[in-house]
Amino acid sequence: MNAQPQAVTEPRPDLAGLLRKQRAAFQTHVPNYAARMDDLARLRSAFKQRMDAFIAAMSADFGRRSRHESILSDGFTVLHEIDHIRANLRRWMRPVHRAASWQFWPARGELRYQPLGVVGVIAPWNYPVNIALVPLASALGAGNHVLLKPSEHTPRTGELLKSFLAELFPEERVATVLGGPDIAAEFAALPLDHLFFTGSTQVGRLVMQAAAPNLTPVTLELGGKSPTLIADDYPIEKAAGRIAAGKFINAGQTCIAPDYVLLSKARIAPFVDALRRYVTGRYDQPAASADYTSIVNERQYRRLRGYLDEARARGAEVIELGAHDDAARVLAPTIVLNAPDDTKLMQDEIFGPILPLVEAESLESALAYVNARPRPLAFYLFDEDRARTERVLRQVTAGGVAINDTVLQFAQLELPFGGVGPSGMGSYHGHQGFLTFSKEMPVFYQARFSSLALLRPPYRGYADRLLRFLTR
């Protein structure tokens, strides 16, 4: 078993000083197109060269993390995002013509995309490279200076991020600060031009509260319980495989992992059997498989085991699809049947490889169950009936939806990613990330001649007639 890493003790960061330094640098020189493209090119090249080091750091922080999953979720995603930004940045930066209302002709309007200034990014531990560097790339593409706060729960990765970015950027352009919850609280309270936070709903409330006195705009990427609904005529083996792939990647430590599955009673046993075949075929024994990831720390592992203990004590059926390994913090994929609604398993975001099944005998009852709960970050529907699918889409509101698959909506750079209500506010990825870190500044250009000059005191004659025409 790998011992849990201890955070490196270092001088308390001067957050206010870093903010002043970055703000002064931004006011002196706003990065232009060439500077932004150069920043992104250097970030991509250096990250590709250091990817193995990042994969090793994440695996050390988790105790064991699938190398292939790390490449896919924290390597490919970062490279893919940077490539997309660089391919489209010139077009995104270009002012967009907007017609003036006909009453104001021959005036004209346009939208310009101005960088906000100094933005803060607070990254989580579950995908500690992806959700640090993707918002960073979006912020740099939009022309901002950035303060980054990695999670203290993945200290090796945080240390590597700090040294890696310090080699690429001067402190007044990008600065990384390390530390625990007290540093995070101070970070969130800075008078930033924008604050981007990814984490739990509970902590998201605290972040928003800390940002409020400064009226700092926030993007909150949170979580919640993402439901999955399987139609009665959808192939159960296919559904099980696609749900399992999204649920068990990173051992379920994913904000958009399917949290629970709604299906009819007759399909529960076949679904359990299909999941068992998937786990056996993909991992053999999860506790010994290099392709199956450990739970990040002892606290999270005990939380998950506590969910199972409570559910079992309350009469739920717990079906373990492999052996757990307490010493290595490996929690095997586990199915739970008939868990009472008031158990923590059914109230909290699970964030682990535990999948409750909820009996729903009709589409109406399934939708009522989903809509009686907070709006989720993700909703998954497995149904090949187009009319029924359209009906579901009209009745459900979620941060994002995937039809007949899970989690892959996150990787679509032409689709914004973000929550709604308790699952978050604001969005990013692709163009949406550029917009999140930009001020869409409207500009009105008056023409040499303006007929509205006639609407100035003293109001009489022509002004009366013109006002009657405009308000007819």
- d(Cα 384, Cα 380) in Å, to the nearest integer? 13
- Average pLDDT value over all residues in the chain: 95
Q: Would you state the pLDDT for residue 9? A: 58
Q: How are beta strands 378-382 and 227-230 bridged, if at all? A: parallel
Residue 297 lies in a domain: yes
pLDDT in tens, 251-267: 999 999 999 999 999 99
Say which residue, 461 or 70, is predicted with more confidence. 70
Question: Are 200 and 110 found together in one domain?
Answer: yes
Are residues 21 and 98 both part of a single domain? yes
Indicate the range of 3-12, 151-160, 276-285, 420-429 predicted with least confidence: 3-12
For residues 278 and 186, state if they share a domain.
no
For 245, how many CA atoms within 13 A lie in the half-sphere containing its CB? 13
Q: What is the spatial distance between Cα 292 and Cα 303, in angstroms, rounded to a whole number?
A: 19
pLDDT given for residue 405 in this prediction? 98
Q: What is the 3-state secondary structure (H, E, C) of 329-352?
A: CECCCEEEECCCCCCHHHHCCCCC
Q: Are 343 and 311 in contact (CB under 8 A)?
A: yes
Query: Do 194 and 269 fall within a single domain?
Result: no
The CATH number of residue 124's host domain is 3.40.605.10
pLDDT at residue 470, as a whole number = 80
Is residue 186 flagged as an active site residue?
no
**110, 221, 361, 390: which is the annotated catalytic residue?**
221
Does the residue 125 lie in any domain?
Answer: yes
Residues 84 and 187 in one domain: yes
Q: What is the dihedral of CA 160, 165, 166, 168, to 10 degrees?
A: 130
Percent of the chain with pLDDT over 70: 98
Record the pTM: 0.93
In this structure, the answer to whether residues 43 and 170 fall within a common structural domain is: yes
- Do 137 and 238 fall into the same domain? no
Q: Are residues 60 and 106 in the same domain?
A: yes
From 255, 317, 359, 364, the catalytic residue? 255
426 and 414, same structural domain?
Answer: no
Residue 124 lies in a domain: yes
- Give the mean pLDDT of 369-386: 97
pLDDT in tens, 322-364: 999 999 999 999 999 999 999 999 999 999 999 999 999 999 9
Asked if residue 266 and residue 345 are part of one domain, the reply reads yes
Is pLDDT of 284 > 80? yes
Region 109-113 average pLDDT:
96
- The CA distance from 133 to 77, in Å, is 10
Active site residue 361: no
- 465 falls within a domain: no
| Residue 464 maps to a domain | no
Is the per-residue pLDDT at 436 higher than 50?
A: yes
CATH code of the domain covering residue 250: 3.40.309.10
Considering the domain architecture, whether residues 253 and 324 belong to the same structural domain is answered as: yes
What pLDDT score was predicted for residue 10? 66
Domain count, the chain: 2
> Nearest-CA neighbor of 286 among 238, 241, 251?
251
| pLDDT-based confidence at residue 152 (cuts at 50, 70, 90) | very high
Determine how many CB atoms are found less than 10 A away from the CB of residue 268.
Answer: 18
Identify whether residues 162 and 259 lie together within a single domain.
Answer: no
* pLDDT above 80: residue 455: no
pLDDT at position 3, please?
43
Q: Note the pLDDT of residue 230.
A: 98
Q: Is the pLDDT of residue 5 over 70?
A: no
pLDDT of 4 higher than 60: no
* pLDDT for position 93: 98
435-458 average pLDDT score: 87
Structural domain contains residue 336:
yes
Residue 1 binned pLDDT confidence (cut-offs 50, 70, 90): very low
What residues make up the domain containing 435?
15-222+422-442
Residue 57 lies in a domain: yes
> What is the pLDDT averaged over residues 380-389?
97
274 found inside a domain: yes
165-207 pLDDT per residue, tens: 999 999 999 999 999 999 999 999 999 999 999 999 999 999 9
Average pLDDT of the segment spanning 131-141: 98
